[in-house]
């Protein structure tokens, strides 16, 4: 099981996403870096603790008020994984590092900060094709950035 989070700034109308190579997608013909929400496996941690650590490791943000919004099975016909979905508001002063992931885990992650409108346009034009990220961005469009 895993957790995923969408950090957002209401004031600036931005979200924090990451870009990285996803080998299974590459093997299936997707040769671009995958644009995604910050996510990670639970590794015997609580979903909230794990997603806070992932936000620091991947995006460089120490998030305060992490809020769980729902859980979902992403592909229940083929895998057992359940995702715990979170959102959290962020401010520039919460940035504690560059992010980028953990080198010892083979992570090479780029942090991006599009506006919500730019992120939604990335879904429409095919630059964002990751299901969990699409779900979080649509949730944010309907419930946060009204």
**Span 12-22, pLDDT tens digits:** 999 999 999 88
Q: Per residue in 116-128, pLDDT tens?
A: 999 999 999 999 9
How many CA atoms does the CB half-sphere of 83 hold within 13 Å? 20
The contacts of residue 94 (CB under 8 Å, 6+ apart) are: 61, 62, 63, 64
What is the percentage of the chain residues whose pLDDT exceeds 90?
A: 82
Does residue 101 register a pLDDT over 80?
no
Does residue 108 register a pLDDT over 80?
no
| Residue 145 buriedness (CB in 10 A; 0-12 / 13-18 / 19+) | middle
The contacts of residue 53 (CB under 8 Å, 6+ apart) are: 40, 45
């Amino acid at each position: 099981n895993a957790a995923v989070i969408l950090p957002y700034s209401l004031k600036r109308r931005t979200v924090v996403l990451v870009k990285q190579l996803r080998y299974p997608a590459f093997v299936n013909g997707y040769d671009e870096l995958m644009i995604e929400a910050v996510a990670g496996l639970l590794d015997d941690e609580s979903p909230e603790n794990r997603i806070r650590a992932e936000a620091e490791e991947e995006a460089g943000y120490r998030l305060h008020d992490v809020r769980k919004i729902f859980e979902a099975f992403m592909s229940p016909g083929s895998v057992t994984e359940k995702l715990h979905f979170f959102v959290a508001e962020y401010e520039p002063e919460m940035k504690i590092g560059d992010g980028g992931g953990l080198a010892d885990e083979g992570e090479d992650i780029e942090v991006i900060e599009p506006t919500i409108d730019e992120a939604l346009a990335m879904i429409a034009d095919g630059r964002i094709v990751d299901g969990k990220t699409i779900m979080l961005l649509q949730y944010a469009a309907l419930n946060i950035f009204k």
